[in-house]
Structures are given as C-alpha cells and as structure tokens.
Chains A and B, each alone.
Chain A
Amino acid sequence: MHEYIAIAVLIGLATLIALIAIVLGELFGPKKKSAVKSMPYESGMDPYGEGTRRMPVHFYLIAVLFILFDIEVVFFLPWAVVFRKLGLFGLIEMIIFIAILLVGYVYAWKKGALEWE
C-alpha cells in the first residue's frame, strides 16, 4: 500500500511542476490581446465555420475495434502471469479464445473496416 502513496506523492509533484511552468509563463509573458490573435489558426485564411465539426465515422470504428482488442490484451495479462502453472491446458484454451476473436478480426478486415481512403 505504501508504494501507491509514493506514486500519489509523485503525481502531486508532477502536477506542481506543470502548474509552476504555466504560472511562470502567465507572469512573465506579455499580454496584448487582439481580435486577430485570438482567432483559430488556419494558415492565414479567415476561419470558416466551427472548429469542431463532424468527423469521419472511421475514427469511431477504430475506437470500437480498439476496445475489443484492448480487452483481449487485458485477458492476456493474468494468463501470462500464471502461464507456467496452467501448462498445455492454458495454451490451448487461449488459442480457442483467440480463434473466436480472430473470426471477428477477419470479418472486420474483409468488410473494409481497416481500410482508409
């Protein structure tokens, strides 16, 4: 448990460093605001429309696939720790689990979920 308090102390220190850096910049930097300066940067053109507009649906697809496979990796972790105790049974069981997952992977691939135009 002590170890986690050490990490919490480190988190506090890191946040402090970040805050000090920002405060330093706020203290010493010039503050001459103007309408042109506070426009979003668009290579010199006047910005057109909202900045956060609709985005390609493909990014959502990648996110969903990521969740699937990341959970798979999370399943792998405890399996890897006790792998020597599980022996052959563990290996075969994991192969079956991955085989089921690979069906979905192949489906996503063939459906073109991994392609970018």
Chain B
Amino acid sequence: MADYTLSLAHLYGDLMNTYGDYGNIIALRYYAKQIGVTVDDQLVSLGDTFDPKAYDFALFGGGQDYEETIVAHDLVGKKEALKEYIENDGPLLAVCGGYQLLGHYMEMADGTKVDGIGVMDHYTTNMTDASVTVDKGVRLTGNIEIKNNETGEIYHGFENHQGRTFLGKGEKSLGTVVYGKGNNGMDKTEGVIYHNVFGTYFHGPILTRNGNLAKRLLATALERKYPEVNWSDKLAQVQAESF
C-alpha cells in the first residue's frame, strides 16, 4: 500500500483537552488506517510555533476556564499563522473553548472577558449576558442532535457549555438543532463552518460518534494534500460508526 500521511497539529493538547477531545484524533486515525493513511499527531503548545505549511489537519479542543486564559494569551503569537492556515483552506476541528478563541472574544462564567484572535467572525458572551433571553444563567448541558443543512446528515453529541456563541458574517452553522441547545440556545444554530474550519460545542467526541463527519473531514484533508487520489471512493468502502 502506498504511503500516505496526514500531519496533525494538536493545538494546546496538553491544556485544552478537557472532555476527551483527543478522541477525535483516535477516530481520524481509525478511519485513516482503513484506507492506508497514517495520522501523525504533534503537540503545538505554549511557546511553540505553528507552521501553517507543515500541517494537514489541526485539532483545537476545549479546556477549563483557567487554562483557556493562559492559552488565549499565547495564541496571540500564533494568530497570523493560524489565519494563513485557515484562509488557505487548512482543515481544522475546533471544539468548545478552541472554537470560542478563534472568534473575537469569549466571556467566562465570572464575567471575565477573554480576547480571541478574531480569525473568524463569531463572538461568545456568557450565560448571564443581557442578550441571552433563553436559559439565562444556566449551563447548556445534555444530549444534542443537529442536522447539517447541506448534506442532511445528522450529528449526535453531548453539549456542556456556559458560553453563548453568535455566528458572524461568512460563517455557516455546522447544523440546525433538532433537539438540544446549540450555539446559544436561541437561534437553533450549532457550531460553525468557515472555509475548512469546523467548530462545535459537541463533546462525545464528535468524530467518534459521527463517522460520516469524520470521513468528510478526512476526505477534505486528503484531497487537499493528495489531489491525484480518489479518496471519496476509498472512504465509501469504510463503515462509519454512528450512535
């Protein structure tokens, strides 16, 4: 079998990995292996440089509020590189805190405002913000199901967040809420799609429970790196886990 490799950057994997986000890498590797692709994951953390040309995939998970403030500070130094990666259609999965920090800002439960790097146009208020009219003051916790508006695919997960995210210009949602709360509990959107960035509040982790999405992200990354191969055909043979 030919040697195909995806280089994956696990952004702040030592600090932003609160709800099994690493599982997304396990899922990618599981499907990749079945089509002869190796996934190499590398930790990119505090003080490290992120080389936008060196990676074929990036995972940016969620963390505790405390770690998130430390990461937000360090992230400023990686802003231009991440912007370049994203604008060049680099595939990136951002979960919870990682999703929030790619936007303009996020507010923690205690009201502290933490600046994101604004490479995407969404922003996140906290659960007690004046703009919050539904489920004000409570965490949005529980099982959730959404439907992707373009593919009609259904995604399952577990959400657990106090922050309320509102999408900006040029951002599409990952899906429309079938049941559960989603980005903010108010506008029925959950997650984001911008270029090849997929943001979500889903834990689960999302790629372990939604094999269709894992295969889609894998195809995106592989077609970008190895356009000569028909990846869709190969992936069509792989059975997707979904529960």
Partners in one complex: no
Tell me the B residues contacting A by CB distance below 8 Å.
none
Tell me the A residues contacting B by CB distance below 8 Å.
none
